[in-house]
Structure 1
Amino acid sequence: MTVPAYPLQWPDGLPRTERKATSQFKTGLSTALKNVKGALEAFARDSGRAVTDIVLSSNVGGLALETPKDTGVAAWFTWDGEQRCIAVDRYPKPEDNLQAIYHILEARRTEIRHGGLHIVRQTFKGFTALPAPEPWHDVLGVSHEATNDQINAAFNALAKKAHPDMPGGSADWMARLNAARARGLK
């Protein structure tokens, strides 16, 4: 499955942080990116397993000068034959969340050195990626910059077809629409 880098693709079922913590990191965005890249390369070397299909997904995009409202970062990659995702939204700046991912990867490298590959495989069961949600704007057929009114109008029009009581409708289709509307309105 291809995961887009922008906007943020948070793994389904992973709870979001309600209250942000103060970060002690002093790392800028470019350094945090370099750190994560280096940690993934070192992790692959240490584990003897390739790390591929790397996508760092966030709401940092374009030439925006201000910090996005949702500062979470999700590092998606394939390792040991499975898609994994390490997602962090604990801190108020994307670079701090990215630096936290770096430290999580470094902790897995420590596990390899001291406990072996079987320890990391056990730990990584928690990072086995649930499917990334479909981009809400694609499901609803609107722009990712759509207003709440546009989101609701698109939802209402599609719900008339998707509702399980309608011919051709289904609970799954309706659930996709409900999830997409909730993500879009958020």
Structure 2
Amino acid sequence: MSDPKIEPGYPLAWPQGRPRTRKPAPALFRKDGRRLTLTTARARLVEQVNMITQRGQPWRVRNMVLSTNIRFTLAGTRDQNVSRRDPEDAGVAFYFELDGRPHVLACDRWDTVYDNIAAIAAHIEALRGQERWGVADLRQAFAGHVALPPPGAPPERSWWKVLGLPGADVSRNDIDAMYRRLAARRHPDAGGTREQWDELAAAYEAAKAAVA
């Protein structure tokens, strides 16, 4: 069974309505006594996703996107064409479909992207244990992570409205140009709010997927 395909998502699209950690804790996870890298952290996630599906059976987990503030390639390595500095916002959101239902696991408790990826992998391992011991099947175990808006939340705006575009019939250049213009104003470091930035990041990811 080959490794599942996990698409990179940049920038971080934090789940709507999910609270953020105010003061992330120092790095926790280790491999052979050393701090994790993007490659080793992603390998842990791939391993856990692999183990959800029994050998020889169709993939249960599909349409996976690992959303972070680090640009990385499909191979799981860091994009060498951009800065190698770790981002200030180390949050990670892992979007996927389990048996056809959308889910998201998000973590920003730790101060590195790598540790937050490893934490998500560890969480999947713990949820798998519920099925292994007969307490619940995976769909029940993941029920609390269905990617739906929180109760009472206003309906999400379409990506083109968030980006200030006239509609979905636009070019990738139009999308990139509007994103750069809005990002310069909505990033928290530029005076925007975290909610504005998360909405913009999510809209940008949706736009790129729609206008391939």
Shared topology, TM-score over 0.5?
yes
Greater Rg by CA? 1
What is the CA distance between 1:108 and its match in structure 2? 1.3
Quickly say closer, same or farther: Cα 1:107–1:140, change in 2 above 3 A.
same
Residue of structure 2 equivalent to 1:91 = 110
Cα distance change, pair 30–182 in 1 and its aligned pair in 2 (3 A): closer
Shift of residue 181, structure 1, vs aligned partner: 6.5
Match of 2:64 in 1: 54
* Aligned equivalents of 2:157, 2:65: Cα separation in 1: 15
8 Å contact from structure 1 (residues 9, 133) kept in 2: no
Identify the residue that residue 143 of structure 1 maps to in structure 2.
Answer: 179
Q: Is the 8 A contact 2:12 2:198 kept in 1?
A: no
Give the match's secondary structure for 1:98. Answer: helix
CA-based RMSD: 3.2
Taking a change above 3 Å as real, the CA distance of residues 4 and 33 of structure 1, as seen in their structure-2 partners, is closer
Give the match for residue 130 of structure 1: 148
Contact 1:83 1:129 (8 Å CA) reproduced: yes
Give the distance between the partners of 2:157 and 2:12, measured in 1 at CA.
10
Residues 84 and 127 of structure 1 are in contact (CA less than 8 Å); yes or no, is this contact kept in structure 2? yes
Task: State the 4+ residue runs in structure 1 displaced beyond 6 angstroms.
Answer: 46-49, 132-137
Task: State the percentage of identical aligned residues.
Answer: 32
TM-score (norm 1): 0.69
CA contact (8 A) 1:58 1:72 kept: yes
What is the number of residues matched between the two proteins? 153
Superposed counterparts of 1:172-183, under 5 Å: 180=196
- The 8 Å contact of residues 98 and 139 in structure 2, kept in 1 or not, is answered as no
Secondary structure in 2 matching 1:111: helix
- Give CA deviations for 1:10-49 in whole Å, capped at 9, x if unaligned: 1111111111112321222101111101110101228986
Q: In structure 1, how many angstroms separate the alpha carbons of the residues matched to 2:159 and 2:49? A: 26
Are 1:56 and 1:76, in contact at CA under 8 Å, matched by a contact in 2? yes
User: What 5-or-longer segments of structure 1 have no aligned partner?
Assistant: 150-178
Normalized per residue, the structure richer in helix is: 1
